[in-house]
């Protein structure tokens, strides 16, 4: 009996470290914060995408900085923090790649959009871009062509149709595509040119027509991780998620064509 007791005590001592090791809590992943600089036209779908991703990855916090792609490009060039750049134009991404500010291996084209002519819901009905010449159209909201991609596509459309000089006095320049959408929705301008995806989220505007095929360069959205990202691995993981089937469904929900 005494020997049995000794054996049980020895076994207890041997097993206690194993038991303690088996019940030890797994170390939690350190919290990670990712900053995404994204085109204003991506606002609604990116808000949903980041919420979905964070729900499945609770250790990750994603903050989005929205604006015109040209302004975001300049911010990155001036050293503003950003882990991911999601542009509404290839031109802005190419500029950052050329300056060595992007991890080139991560830069990929992901979405395509269309440019449409919109009018206020109760405004003047237009059926084609040339109808902007109508005297009843006094103000046309467009993106600032130097920094706003939709403004650059708009300039190409007007040039293609021979309208540049004829419409110059009517143009009101906006800081990004959402400002154009707001102006048209509130009736501050009689018409505007925005992306099809922006028009779809507003109940205050009507799509008059889609820009003629070939009147402007294709509206391609590239995405990539910045060269100076302090959370490169986490940023790449989120970028991979953007190419997943669940993310594609969300992009399609907001009217984007996934490449």
Each residue's pLDDT tens digit, 238-248: 999 999 999 99
CB 106 within 8 A of CB 59: no
Each residue's pLDDT tens digit, 141-172: 999 999 999 999 999 999 999 999 999 999 99
Task: Reply yes or no on whether the pLDDT at 108 is more than 60.
Answer: yes
- pLDDT (0 to 100) of residue 32: 96
14: confidence class by pLDDT, cuts 50, 70, 90: very low
Q: How far is CA 152 from CA 137, 144, 145, 162, in A?
A: 21, 8, 5, 15
- pLDDT (0 to 100) of residue 4: 43
User: Which domains can be identified in the chain, with CATH numbers?
Assistant: 32-112+220-258 (3.40.190.10), 115-210 (3.40.190.10)
Each residue's pLDDT tens digit, 94-105: 999 999 999 999
125: confidence class by pLDDT, cuts 50, 70, 90: confident
25: confidence class by pLDDT, cuts 50, 70, 90: low
- pLDDT (0 to 100) of residue 30: 81
Residues 6 or more apart whose CB falls under 8 angstroms from that of 248 comprise: 258
Q: Please state the pTM of the whole predicted model.
A: 0.84
- pLDDT (0 to 100) of residue 18: 43
Q: Output phi, psi for 111, to 5 deg.
A: -135, 160
Among 16-30, 52-66, 187-201, 233-247, the range scoring the smallest mean pLDDT is 16-30
3 state SS of 108: strand
What is the percent of the chain with per-residue pLDDT over 90, rounded to a whole number? 87
Task: Reply yes or no on whether the pLDDT at 124 is more than 90.
Answer: no
Tokens of 84: 């991911």
- pLDDT (0 to 100) of residue 135: 95
């Amino acid at each position: 009996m005494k020997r049995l007791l000794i054996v049980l005590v020895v076994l207890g001592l041997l097993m206690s470290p194993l038991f303690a090791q088996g019940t030890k809590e797994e170390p939690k992943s350190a919290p990670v914060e990712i900053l995404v600089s994204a085109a204003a036209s991506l606002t609604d779908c990116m808000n949903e995408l980041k919420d979905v991703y964070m729900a499945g990855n609770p250790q990750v916090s994603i903050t989005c900085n929205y604006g015109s792609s040209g302004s975001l490009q300049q911010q990155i060039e001036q050293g503003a923090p950003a882990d991911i750049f999601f542009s509404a134009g290839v031109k802005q991404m190419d500029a950052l790649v050329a300056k060595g500010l992007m991890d080139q291996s991560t830069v990929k084209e992901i979405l395509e959009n269309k440019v449409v002519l919109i009018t206020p819901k109760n405004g003047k009905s237009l059926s084609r871009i040339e109808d902007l010449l109508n005297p009843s159209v006094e103000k046309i909201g467009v993106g600032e062509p130097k920094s706003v991609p939709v403004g650059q596509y708009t300039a190409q459309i007007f040039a293609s149709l021979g309208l540049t000089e004829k419409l110059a006095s009517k143009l009101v320049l906006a800081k990004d595509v959402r400002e154009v959408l707001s102006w048209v929705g509130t009736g501050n301008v009689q018409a505007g040119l925005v992306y099809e995806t922006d028009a779809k989220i507003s109940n205050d505007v009507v799509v008059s027509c889609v820009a003629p095929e070939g009147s402007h360069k294709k509206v391609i959205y590239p995405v990539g991780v910045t060269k100076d990202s302090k959370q490169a691995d986490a940023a790449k993981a989120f970028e991979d998620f953007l190419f997943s089937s669940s993310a594609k469904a969300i992009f399609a929900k907001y009217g984007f064509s996934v490449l």
